Amino acid sequence: MDELAKGPYMQELWLSDWRSLMGAMLHWLAGGDPYGAFTMPDGASYEAGWYAYPPPTLLFAPLLAVLPWQLSGVLVQLLAIIGFEGWSRRRSNRLALPWLLLWLPFVQGILIGQTTLLALVGLMLAEEAYSAGRDRRAALLLALCILKPQATILGAAWLLFLALRERRWQLLGSFAGICALLWGGIALVAGPQIYLQWYEGLTAYSAALPDRPLIFPPFGPLLALLAGLLWWRHGRDDMLGTLLLLNTLLYPLSVIYIAIGVAFVVIRWRADWPWYPLLLSWLLPALILLPERTPDTIAALTQGIIATGLLAGLLPQIPLRLGRRAVSSP
């Protein structure tokens, strides 16, 4: 998306994605096409396709627009971080903080104000609600998390399949009703043409970003091998985790923040994951200077960075021995 930005804002990374998201929403509230070109009040302009979220997300625009974009962006990131930390403690009895601080995809996503983490937390909470028999809560969370389908769609589809197989009609009915309110409500508010505008925005968005799946060359087969080994050793009994991993590797969007689903998979499958492989995600960009920025070289570096997350599920712990004091009998 950096290629689309113009003006001084191009150099500002802090909450940059969130700022542009709010810019598109405010443009829509003012009567414009959120999926077309728009200009921020400070003069920064964006081409068509910058905003690519599904139309129901626009229903949250009036609520978000009440706050300054900096404050709403920080609150959304805090909500996602707290949710991730709580889920990690319940799942593995360990802090998630090393992932948030040490793994480059997380740092990038939080820094620019991405919503991928929030969507994945929603999926994990939906699974917990499903397991606890809280069908309405699970339905609401599933309907919301699929508003970021590139990160959640396979996992959400699996939970809905389980609900159908187990005849949990309350969950399925609630999910259908909430989706009808979201997807039909925006058509009533904005008019049915909003979906045509969304399609045109997606077309422009796809043309501006690398769009190969992570398992494609040059190093995709090696990444798939690492993922397969992790699955074989730790995840064969976890279908949701398996589908989340597949979703991450197969979705054609070659940016590192979209791969944070790997962290959820590793935490699900290996409670004693080591933290030191995560540091390698910073060393690779520092040590490997791309001779030329091409789709192949960018994809190769991205694949190497994401591989470090898989290594956190495969490499052994390094025991830290600080020495032992001799204990003598009294």
- Tens of pLDDT, residue by residue, the chain (330 residues): 443 444 443 447 899 999 999 999 999 999 999 999 998 877 778 888 889 999 999 999 999 999 999 999 999 999 999 999 999 999 999 999 999 999 999 999 999 999 999 999 999 999 999 999 999 999 999 999 999 999 999 999 999 999 999 999 999 999 999 999 999 999 999 999 999 999 999 888 776 666 788 999 889 999 999 999 999 999 999 999 999 999 999 987 768 898 999 999 999 999 999 999 999 999 988 877 666 777 778 888 899 999 999 999 999 988 755 344 433 433
Instruction: Please report the pLDDT score of residue 289 as a whole number.
Output: 66
Nearest Cα to 80, choosing from 18, 122, 133? 122
Q: What is the pLDDT of residue 210?
A: 61
For residue 54, give the DSSP letter: -
Q: Quote the tokens at residue 301.
A: 């570096």
Q: Taking the model in full, what pTM does it have?
A: 0.91
Please give the Cα distance from 309 to 270 (Å, whole number): 12
The domain of 277 spans 220-311
pLDDT of residue 320: 58
Q: Which of these, 117, 123, 23, lies nearest to 78 by C-alpha position?
A: 117
How far apart, in whole angstroms, are the C-alpha atoms of residue 111 and residue 33? 27
Residue 59 CA to residue 307 CA, distance in Å, equals 37
Residue 78 domain-assigned (yes or no):
no
Cross-strand pairs, 38:
46
316 burial (CB, 10 Å; 0-12 / 13-18 / 19+) is exposed
The answer to whether residue 115 is domain-embedded is no
pLDDT for 253: 74
Is residue 264 within 8 Å of 282, Cβ to Cβ? no
Amino acid identity for residue 22 in this structure: M
295: buried, middle or exposed (CB in 10 Å: 19+, 13-18, 0-12)?
Answer: exposed
CA 134 to chain centre: 24
- Asked if the structure places residue 107 within a domain, the reply is no
- Number of domains into which the chain is organized: 1
CB < 8 Å & 24+ apart, contacts of 197-202: 197/33, 197/34, 197/35, 197/36, 198/35, 198/52, 198/54, 198/55, 200/35, 200/36, 200/48, 201/34, 201/35, 201/36, 201/48, 201/49, 201/51, 201/52, 202/35, 202/49, 202/52
Examine residue 205 and state whether it is found in any structural domain, yes or no.
no
Is residue 212 helix, strand or coil? coil
Helix (H) or strand (E) holding 300: helix 295-311
What are the pLDDT digits (tens) for 137-191? Answer: 999 999 999 999 999 999 999 999 999 999 999 999 999 999 999 999 999 999 9
Residue 124 lies in a domain: no
Judge whether 90 lies within some domain. Answer: no
Residue 7 pLDDT: 41
Residue at 112 is within a domain: no
**DSSP codes, 182-199:** IIIHHHHHH-THHHHHHH
**Residues ≥6 apart with Cβ < 8 Å to 113:** 14, 15, 16, 17, 18, 19, 21, 73, 76, 77
Q: State the residue for tokens 């009994």.
A: 237
Q: Establish if 98 belongs to a structural domain.
A: no
